[in-house]
């Protein structure tokens, strides 16, 4: 991650009391740059400062409008519910001295700041069924709290973000231009991806377009975008940049992609990739516990396709970026995106051959809900 030369000037733009000497890179996101800063003294809270990737989020003004709208809505829900603590359960942004929630510096970089939520944890790889269950509750509650917002109220910051047809077209275009001469080296991967391209069009079919409600969803429901408390209880859903219209199965599938895999997202040894079924069951149960009340039966029927689509689409996206010369995702070494694509495709194939088992668990957990026996 790049150093920040103008840290004092940036901090001066925010209504914060951050110690500029304490700045350090934080987190494992692939798009934005995140930095942690300590409060100037014990009385002041710590902060996270983020450089927004404006090649990905091209209209930062609209992005900020979306985020503020969603944060306000969630905070009001928590307050009206009477049980929670809106300060702990919803991210709070730090305003700039000009009363905005982002700042553009002299180099054209966009910055935003939020308060650091103390005593929280996020996991790149889930370890226990409790963590998975609590993560399911966090995203279920997130969907429930946003279920009364019209998807038209939110600006489409990345159009076609989860449109697999467009993602496949982007891959085909990367192969066509082949700017780095890498396409010839990944023919095997390209053939494997093509084999499932038709099957993956489920959410593009007229039947689904007519029967599935578009809702306001997270669209980047990786498990590390949930903060759990020190006791591993669900606390807060973070990383709200991509909150836009979508199908609940998208978030379900993306979360499962990052929970069910016994190995990290970019595992080099595909023999280490395996399905952790108890974690899948736990997340599903937690999710239904919070979202079951508003989900339609068509939505429940679509969840399995979300589980299959997300690792597949991620493989398509990583492979396209590899062929394009690693322009989109941050990488740590040459070939990193290819390694990620292979790992995600392998995960997809394992999910594909265990569809019945996964569906049975979804059916069982949604049945428990109807019988009122969920925790």
Name the residues that contact ligand ADP, by CB under 6 A. Answer: 26-27, 29, 31-32, 34, 48, 91, 114, 116-117, 120, 122, 224-225, 227, 238-239
Q: If binding is defined by CB under 5 A, does position 225 make contact with Mg ion?
A: yes
Taking only Cα atoms into account, the Rg of the chain, rounded to an integer number of angstroms, comes to: 21
Q: How far is the CB of 51 from Mg ion (least distance, A)?
A: 14
At closest approach, how far in Å is the CB of 275 from ligand ADP? 24
Task: For the CB of residue 373, give the shortest distance to Mg ion in the complex, in Å.
Answer: 34
Q: DSSP assignment of 51-98, as one string?
A: EE-TTTS--HHHHHHHHHHHHHHHHHHHHHHSSS-HHHHS--BPPBTT
Closest among 188, 90, 94, 194 to 138, alpha carbons compared: 90
Among 89, 189, 251, 265, the residue binding ligand GN1 under the rule CB under 6 A is 265
Nearest-approach distance from CB 116 to ligand GN1, in angstroms: 17
As a residue count, the chain comes to 375
By CB under 6 A, is residue 220 in contact with ligand GN1? Answer: yes
CB-nearer residue toward ligand ADP: 5 or 124: 124
| The one among 11, 29, 137, 336 contacting Mg ion by CB under 5 A | 29
Q: Among all residues, whose Cβ is closest to ligand ADP?
A: 29
Residue (of 66, 64, 70, 76) closest to 100 by Cα position:
64
Q: How far is CA 341 from CA 322, 334, 335, 353, in A?
A: 9, 13, 10, 18
Q: Could you say whether residue 253 binds Mg ion (CB under 5 A)?
A: no
Binding partner of residue 303 among ligand GN1, Mg ion, ligand ADP, none, CB cut-off 5 to 8 Å per kind = none
Residue 350, both tokens: 């394992």
- Stretch binding ligand GN1 (CB under 6 A), from 26-34, 188-196, 295-303, 348-356: 26-34
User: Min. distance of Cβ 135 from ligand GN1 in angstroms?
Assistant: 15
> Which are the contacts of 310, defined by CB distance < 8 A and separation ≥ 6?
250, 253, 254, 256, 257
Distance CA 105, CA 13 (A): 9
Binding mask 41-60 for ligand GN1 (x = CB under 6 A): ---------------x----
CA 220-222-223 angle, to 5 degrees, is 145
Find the shortest distance in angstroms from Cβ 209 to Mg ion. 29
Helix (H, G, I), strand (E, B) or coil at 227: strand
Quick one: which segment of 23-31, 85-93, 134-142, 193-201 binds ligand GN1 (CB under 6 A)? Answer: 23-31
Q: Which residues of 359-371 are buried (b: 16+ CB within 10 A; e: fewer)?
A: eebbeebbebbee
In the complex, which residues of this chain contact Mg ion (CB under 5 A)? 29, 225, 239
């Amino acid at each position: 991650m790049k150093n920040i030369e103008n840290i004092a000037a940036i901090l001066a733009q925010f209504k914060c009391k951050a110690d500029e000497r304490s700045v350090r890179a934080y987190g494992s996101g692939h798009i934005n740059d995140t930095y942690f800063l300590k409060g100037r003294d014990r009385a002041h809270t710590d902060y996270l400062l983020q450089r927004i990737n404006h090649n990905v989020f091209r209209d930062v003004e609209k992005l900020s409008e979306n985020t503020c709208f969603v944060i306000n809505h969630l905070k009001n829900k928590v307050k009206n519910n009477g049980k929670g603590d809106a300060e702990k359960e919803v991210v709070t942004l730090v305003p700039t001295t000009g009363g905005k929630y982002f700042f553009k510096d002299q180099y054209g970089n966009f910055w935003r700041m939020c308060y650091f939520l103390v005593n929280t944890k996020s996991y790149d790889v889930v370890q226990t069924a409790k963590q998975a269950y609590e993560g399911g509750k966090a995203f279920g509650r997130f969907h429930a709290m946003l279920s009364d917002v019209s998807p038209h109220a939110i600006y489409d910051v990345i159009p076609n973000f989860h449109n697999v047809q467009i993602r496949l077209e982007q891959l085909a275009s990367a192969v066509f231009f082949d700017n780095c001469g890498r396409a010839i080296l990944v023919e095997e991967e390209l053939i494997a991806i093509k084999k499932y391209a038709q099957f993956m069009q489920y959410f593009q079919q007229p039947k689904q377009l007519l029967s599935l409600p578009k809702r306001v969803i997270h669209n980047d429901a990786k498990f590390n975008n949930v903060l759990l408390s020190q006791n591993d209880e669900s606390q807060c859903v973070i990383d709200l940049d991509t909150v836009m219209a979508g199908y609940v199965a998208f978030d379900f599938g993306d979360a499962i992609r990052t929970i069910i895999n016994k190995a990290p997202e970019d595992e080099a040894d595909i023999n280490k990739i395996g399905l952790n079924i108890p974690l899948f069951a736990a997340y599903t149960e937690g999710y239904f516990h919070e979202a079951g009340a508003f989900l339609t039966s068509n939505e429940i029927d679509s969840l399995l396709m979300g589980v299959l689509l997300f690792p597949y689409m991620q493989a398509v996206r990583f492979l396209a970026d590899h062929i394009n010369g690693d322009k989109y995702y941050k990488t740590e070494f040459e070939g990193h995106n290819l390694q990620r694509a292979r790992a995600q495709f392998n995960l997809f194939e394992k999910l594909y051959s265990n569809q019945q088992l996964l569906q049975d668990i979804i059916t069982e957990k949604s049945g428990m809900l109807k019988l009122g026996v969920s925790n």
